[in-house]
């Protein structure tokens, strides 16, 4: 492992590369990354970095977002099959049809979507700023929200807006059940339950805080609580423990693993930098349109 990390460091210098990792990445990858964070934080970093090469340790839509925001950079995804099933639950064709059915509606897409879907959208958001973004939209306009129905319901609830939802969902977050939360709360009655807005509604109703992964890290760091039940992908527990060694973090469910996120390994990062693979790029006509929606996303900061 030491040798792999040394190789990555050397190759990074050689190619003027930066390593960005999502909070769900395997622990050893979060540890060697130049920056790890949530989708919003990573998008901002990708747009601002001066490095020539971005090695994106995450899934396809995240690397695509970096390529849209920073077209002059080389964006590498170390495993080209690391996708997000939720992002593939709506196609541009399906979104065009939905827009025809609601011709006056504004379209907000979750960043967990393809570049083609972003290009068909007016605005993009992440779970960290979806509420702020939707709140800023004119009250007299209908809003289509795709593809995550669960994040959509959370946003509708917080903003009081009646959103037109798409039935997409995250296959990892729906693995966490109402019973999982009840069992964990019975065992750890003093623990604070933090859940991602992608969780199902019954899980969210039983939770104390609904937060993006970046907001969970901040909440835990600012809190005096000593126990937390975590209702999101388990990879984040590595960093929660590292940053808060005195607190206890209990996964709500051991099934909450995103296997696509776990496809990235240290070996694959070495190969990515040695062979400049796998380059992620977006056709210019799509990129230009998708960038308009993404620029709005990176401008809106979360309230907390
Ligand atoms: P965050 O933006 O909260 O990190 O979430 C990304 C994601 O893919 C959640 O499943
Ligand atoms: Fe997609 Fe869910 Fe994995 Fe996030 S956790 S990347 S939404 S499949």
Question: Which residue has a Cα nearest atom 3 of ligand 1?
Answer: 212
Distance 60 CA to ligand 1 centre (A): 13
Calculate mean pLDDT across residues 39-50: 94
Distance 43 CA to ligand 1 centre (A): 12
**Cβ 85 under 6 angstroms from ligand 2:** yes
pLDDT in tens, 163-215: 999 999 999 999 999 999 999 999 999 999 999 999 999 999 999 999 999 99
Distance 225 CA to ligand 2 centre (A): 28
Distance 63 CA to ligand 1 centre (A): 14
Assess whether the region 2-84+261-281 and the region 87-169 belong to the same CATH fold.
yes
- Of 112, 128, 216, 253, the one to substitute when testing ligand 2's pocket (max ligand atoms within 8 A of C-beta) is 112
Closest CA to 135 of 304, 260, 302: 302
Distance 170 CA to ligand 1 centre (A): 10
- Band (pLDDT 50/70/90 cuts) for residue 303 is confident
The total of other beta-carbon atoms located within 10 Å of residue 285's CB is: 9
Distance 13 CA to ligand 1 centre (A): 29
User: Given the CA of residue 37, which atom of ligand 1 is nearest to it?
Assistant: 4
Q: What is the mean pLDDT of the chain?
A: 97
Calculate mean pLDDT across residues 17-29: 98
Topology of domain 2-84+261-281, per CATH?
Rossmann fold (3.40.50)
At 158, list the tokens. 């917080």
**Cβ 175 under 6 angstroms from ligand 2:** no
- Band (pLDDT 50/70/90 cuts) for residue 93 is very high
In terms of CATH, what superfamily is 173-251? NadA-like (3.40.50.10800)
Calculate mean pLDDT across residues 122-144: 97
User: Given the CA of residue 58, which atom of ligand 2 is nearest to it?
Assistant: 6
**Cβ 59 under 6 angstroms from ligand 2:** yes
- Cα separation of 58 and 72, whole Å? 20
Q: Scanning the structure block, which residue is given the tokens 């590292």?
A: 242
Strands of 113-247 (E only): list them. 123-125, 143-146, 163-165, 192-195, 209-210, 227-231
**Cβ 82 under 6 angstroms from ligand 2:** no
| Sheet containing 209-210, strands listed edge to edge, beginning at the edge strand earlier in sequence | 209-210, 192-195, 227-231, 248-251
Question: Which residue has a Cα nearest atom 4 of ligand 1?
Answer: 38
Distance 13 CA to ligand 2 centre (A): 31
**Cβ 89 under 6 angstroms from ligand 2:** no
pLDDT in tens, 240-258: 999 999 999 999 999 999 9
pTM above 0.85, yes or no: yes
- Of 23, 83, 133, the one to substitute when testing ligand 1's pocket (max ligand atoms within 8 A of C-beta) is 23
- Return the CATH class of domain 87-169: alpha beta
The pLDDT of residue 304 is above 90: no
Question: Which residue has a Cα nearest atom 8 of ligand 2?
Answer: 84
Domain ranges for the chain: 2-84+261-281, 87-169, 173-251
Q: Contacts from 41-49 at CB under 8 Å and sequence distance 24+?
A: 41/128, 41/214, 42/66, 43/69, 43/111, 43/126, 43/294, 43/297, 43/298, 44/298, 45/18, 45/20, 46/20, 46/70, 46/73, 46/75, 47/298, 49/18, 49/73
């Amino acid at each position: 492992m030491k040798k792999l990390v040394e190789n990555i460091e050397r190759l990074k210098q050689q190619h003027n590369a930066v390593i960005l990792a999502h909070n769900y990445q395997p622990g050893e990858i979060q540890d060697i990354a130049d920056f790890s964070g949530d989708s919003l934080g990573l998008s901002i970093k990708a747009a601002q970095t001066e490095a020539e090469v971005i090695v994106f340790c995450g899934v396809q839509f995240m690397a695509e977002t970096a390529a849209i925001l920073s077209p002059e950079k080389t964006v590498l995804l170390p495993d080209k099959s690391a996708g997000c099933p939720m992002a593939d639950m709506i196609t541009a064709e399906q979104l065009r049809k939905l827009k025809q059915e609601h011709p006056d509606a504004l379209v907000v897409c979750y960043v967990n979507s393809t570049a083609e879907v972003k290009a068909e959208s007016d605005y993009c958001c992440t779970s960290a700023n979806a509420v702020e973004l939707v709140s800023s939209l004119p009250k007299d306009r209908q809003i289509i929200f795709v593809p995550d129905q669960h994040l959509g319901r959370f946003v509708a609830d917080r903003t009081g807006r009646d959103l037109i939802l798409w039935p997409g969902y995250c296959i990892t977050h729906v693995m966490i059940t109402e019973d999982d939360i009840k069992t964990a709360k019975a065992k750890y009655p003093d623990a604070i339950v933090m859940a991602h807005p992608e969780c199902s509604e019954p899980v969210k109703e039983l939770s104390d805080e609904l937060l993006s992964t970046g907001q969970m890290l901040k909440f835990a760091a600012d809190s005096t609580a000593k126990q937390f039940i975590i209702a999101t992908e388990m990879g984040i527990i590595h960093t929660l423990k590292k940053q808060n060694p005195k607190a206890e973090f209990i996964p709500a469910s051991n099934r909450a693993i995103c296997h696509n996120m776990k496809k990235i390994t240290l070996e694959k990062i070495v190969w990515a930098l040695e062979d400049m693979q796998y380059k992620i790029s977006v056709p210019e006509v799509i990129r230009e349109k998708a960038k308009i929606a993404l620029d709005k996303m990176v401008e809106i900061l979360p309230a907390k």
